[in-house]
Amino acid sequence: MASISVQETDFDIAAEIATLKGDRTDMGAIVTFTGTVRDIAGDLQAMTLEHYPGMTEKEIARVAEEAEKRWSLVECRVIHRYGKLLPGDNIVLVITMSAHRHAAFEAADFLMDFLKSRAPFWKLEETNKGGQWVDAKESDADALKRWEQLQ
Amino acid sequence: MASISVQETDFDIAAEIATLKGDRTDMGAIVTFTGTVRDIAGDLQAMTLEHYPGMTEKEIARVAEEAEKRWSLVECRVIHRYGKLLPGDNIVLVITMSAHRHAAFEAADFLMDFLKSRAPFWKLEETNKGGQWVDAKESDADALKRWEQLQ
Amino acid sequence: MQLVYFAWVKERIGKSEEEMHLPGDVRTVDELIDHLISINDIYRAALNDKAAIRVAINQTHVGLDHPVTDADEVAFFPPVTGG
Amino acid sequence: MQLVYFAWVKERIGKSEEEMHLPGDVRTVDELIDHLISINDIYRAALNDKAAIRVAINQTHVGLDHPVTDADEVAFFPPVTGG
């Protein structure tokens, strides 16, 4: 069963891996993805992540369950932050553990594509010109299609 | 420039990420791959990794440089351990940092495929039946071919 | 029916949620949006561009042709941008 | 010429490295292996199955047809299994 957290606080990758792994020796591959606040134009003061409490957890759990089935993952963990973040801050952590590396890589890649296009989060970027809601990217919707074609 | 370490000691993922990232805010995606000693049959006592000092570092640096060019990575770090390891112990860490997540995922995947088939390491598995050198896997050689076709 | 709004949809409507009675002749999400747009210019400014709006009913993504009932929680928001 | 051995090649030959003079008529890796095999059964047991042996010259992977000189460091080992 995937472990999901939607939280304001930061996360510690090493601690999350240690907890998830425990003393198991049946996994050979651990992949983590960390998404961070990127200051593209050099003028970002802060980013606020709004989300839909309740739906967020359900949507992430649904997708994580699909990933676990599809790649027979040993363990799976998703942490997504909300609230006010600064440039460089962590936004999201995905951890996948599997017997084999390609399963762990693909499952993490898949989870991120689905989080980007399905999890109800919205980014508000604050610069000295004011607040601006980030537009969804066409490329994220396209990324999602890769997994539909593979099914 | 990729940062390469070949060492007997364990590594701390969180510390490695923090050092590599510093206070940069131009990366949005951080992918890590950790390979651990897997006890497939449940009878593994230890695994000893032998390597070719000098060639190991050169070979990893060459491949990491290719990954950095091919995916325009912001940062790249490879740590590979040698010596005696126990089931569950860390063997290898790859960290890729990029503006975009697909570049970070692909570069880490590529680096692992090349490490598996090109870096001069050999695994000796010790069970109560004695020591046994691990055979190279056909699937690892096949995995490498994916990247040649894409070039 | 409970209506909830997020991101710029919430800002344009000026509230994050509200209770509303579902008119008997409104059966789908598409018809609900048309109904809201007909109420006043505030809803019109927020929801008029249906291609820019995403909808969830009872916290599940749905399309414009999905049925809606007076017992539902209906959420309107822009395409998501998390991760 | 410096010869170095790893993993089960090292175990079969019984040492990890040795100095050896390269005979004048040996020009390629393939010919060097044939030469070593001709020395005695120990080298034969370690190197006879050329398909199972990988070679590096001066710490770079090479094929059987690669030229070899008396100034080279030549490594023999099984296919690698790191990572």
Report ipTM (2 d.p.): 0.93
Per-residue pLDDT at D69: 97
Asked if residue A151 has pLDDT above 70, the reply is: no
pLDDT of residue B150: 57
- Percent of chain A scoring above 90 in pLDDT: 85
| C-beta separation of A28 from A100 below 8 A | yes
Between B28, B32, B40, which is nearest A31 by CB? B32
Predicted confidence (pLDDT) at residue D19 exceeds the cutoff of 80: yes
Band the pLDDT of C46: cuts 50, 70, 90. Answer: very high
3-state secondary structure of D39: helix
A60: pLDDT confidence band, cut at 50, 70 and 90? very high
Q: Angle at Cα A44 formed by Cα A39 and Cα A49, nearest 5°?
A: 90
pLDDT of residue B146: 86
What is the C-alpha separation between C49 and B142, in angstroms, rounded?
49
HSE-CB for D44 with a 13 A CA cutoff: 4
D43, C80, B55, C66: which is closest to A133 by C-alpha? Answer: C80
CB < 8 Å to B87, chain A: 25
Mean pLDDT computed over every residue of chain B: 94
Residue C53 has pLDDT above 60, yes or no: yes
Given a cut of 90, is residue B141 above it in pLDDT?
A: no
Q: Is the pLDDT of residue B139 over 90?
A: no
Residue B23 confidence (pLDDT) above 60: yes
Q: Which of residues 8-27 of A touch C (CB under 8 A)?
A: none
Residue of B nearest to D56 (CA): B55
Which chains form contacts with chain D, at 3 or more CB pairs under 8 Å?
B
pLDDT tens digits for B4-20?
A: 999 999 999 999 999 99
Residue A144 confidence (pLDDT):
84
Q: pLDDT tier at A150 (50, 70, 90 boundaries)?
A: low
Chains C vs D: touching, with 3+ CB pairs under 8 Å? no
- Per the CB < 8 A criterion, the answer to whether B71 and B145 are in contact is no
Share of chain B above pLDDT 70, in %: 98
**Does A149 score more than 70 pLDDT?**
no
Of B30, B87, B109, the CB nearest to A105: B109
Closest chain A residue by Cα to residue B22? A88
Nearest CA to A97 out of A17, A35, A23, A41 is that of A17
Question: Which chain C residues have a beta carbon less than 8 Å from that of A133?
Answer: 7-8, 78, 81
Give the pLDDT of residue B149.
65
DSSP class of residue B33 equals E
Average pLDDT over residues B13-39: 95
Sign, Cα dihedral of B100, B105, B107, B108: positive
CA contacts within 13 A on the Cβ side of A135: 4
pLDDT digits (tens, 9 = 90+) for A66-125: 999 999 899 999 999 999 999 999 999 999 999 999 999 999 999 999 999 999 999 999
Query: Please, what is the average pLDDT of chain D?
Result: 97
Q: Lowest-confidence range among A119-123, B41-45, B88-92, D51-55?
A: B41-45
pLDDT band for position A40 (50/70/90)?
Answer: confident
Q: Do B122 and D56 touch (CB under 8 A)?
A: no
Q: Which of A58, A39, A28, A86 is nearest to B36 (CA)?
A: A28
Q: Calculate the average pLDDT of chain A.
A: 94
Residues 6+ apart with CB under 8 A from A139: none
Where do the domains of chain A lie, and which CATH numbers do they carry? 3-149 (3.90.1170.40)
Average pLDDT over residues C13-31: 97
Task: Look at residue B151 and tell me whether its pLDDT is greater than 70.
Answer: no
